[in-house]
């Protein structure tokens, strides 16, 4: 699915912003004001943009064959000790980010499916397709259970207490695990992205 680079990057930036704001808002709902006090509960991209992850990397990826862009924003800070949900608090905060991406993908996928009824312009359908594509990628990537991704936080939160020592051990291997996460993400996204995109939109990938 060929799309103009500028639209892809704009969609990516707004999607990662919504992802991070969702983390912060969930933490705020659970009793932690850290993100709010830091001015991060805003959809203004300037508050969230990471120069490399939000701008440089997507531009570099757009030059590669396939033109799929990917990236991230600055992580929203939160204090797990302020959360009023016990051991599940970090899991709820972590899950809020991918959940927002899944919700966006479903909403825009349904809009594409109802495009004939809504009499949508083909250019609009293309843009909506980019929204689905980017948000499915973000959800799949972040749900991989490898630190520092959201999937790892969710997994460590639900494991029995006797496994909690794994968190410190895994964080010591942070650099290696990031490389592993990228490799795993490439495989997972390659296999699942076309299937999920077609299921949501009814369009061929």
Tell me which residues are annotated as active site: 20
Largest CA distance in the chain: 56
Q: Do the Cβ atoms of 172 and 148 come closer than 8 Å?
A: no
Region for residue 39 given its phi and psi (left: phi exceeds 0; alpha: psi -120 to 50; beta: otherwise): left
Q: How many CB atoms lie within 10 A of CB 81?
A: 7
Q: Is 163 helix (H, G, I), strand (E, B) or coil?
A: helix
Residues in a beta bridge with 73: 49
Instruction: Using alpha carbons, list the distances in angstroms from residue 115 to 123, 179, 196, 201.
Output: 11, 40, 18, 10
CA pair distance 174, 148, nearest whole angstrom: 7
Angle at 78 between CA 15 and CA 9, to 5 degrees: 15
Nearest to 83 by CA among 154, 29, 149, 38: 29
């Amino acid at each position: 699915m060929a799309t103009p680079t500028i639209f892809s990057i704009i969609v990516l930036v707004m999607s990662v912003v919504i992802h991070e704001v969702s983390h912060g808002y969930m933490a705020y709902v659970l009793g932690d004001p850290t993100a709010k006090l830091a001015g991060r509960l805003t959809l203004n991209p300037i508050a969230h943009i990471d120069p490399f992850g939000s701008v440089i990397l997507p531009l570099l990826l757009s030059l590669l064959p396939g033109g799929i862009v990917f990236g991230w924003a600055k992580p929203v800070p939160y204090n797990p000790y302020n959360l009023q949900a016990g051991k599940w608090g970090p899991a709820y905060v972590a899950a809020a980010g991918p959940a927002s991406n899944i919700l966006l993908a479903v909403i825009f996928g349904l809009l594409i499916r109802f495009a004939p009824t809504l009499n949508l312009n083909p250019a609009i359908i293309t843009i909506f397709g980019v929204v689905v594509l980017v948000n499915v990628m973000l959800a799949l990537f972040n749900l991989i259970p490898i630190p520092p991704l959201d999937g790892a936080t969710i997994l460590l939160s639900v494991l029995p207490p006797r496994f909690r020592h794994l968190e410190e051990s895994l964080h010591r291997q942070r650099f290696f695990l990031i490389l592993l996460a990228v490799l795993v993400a490439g495989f997972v996204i390659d296999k699942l992205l076309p299937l999920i995109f077609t299921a949501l939109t009814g369009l061929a990938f």
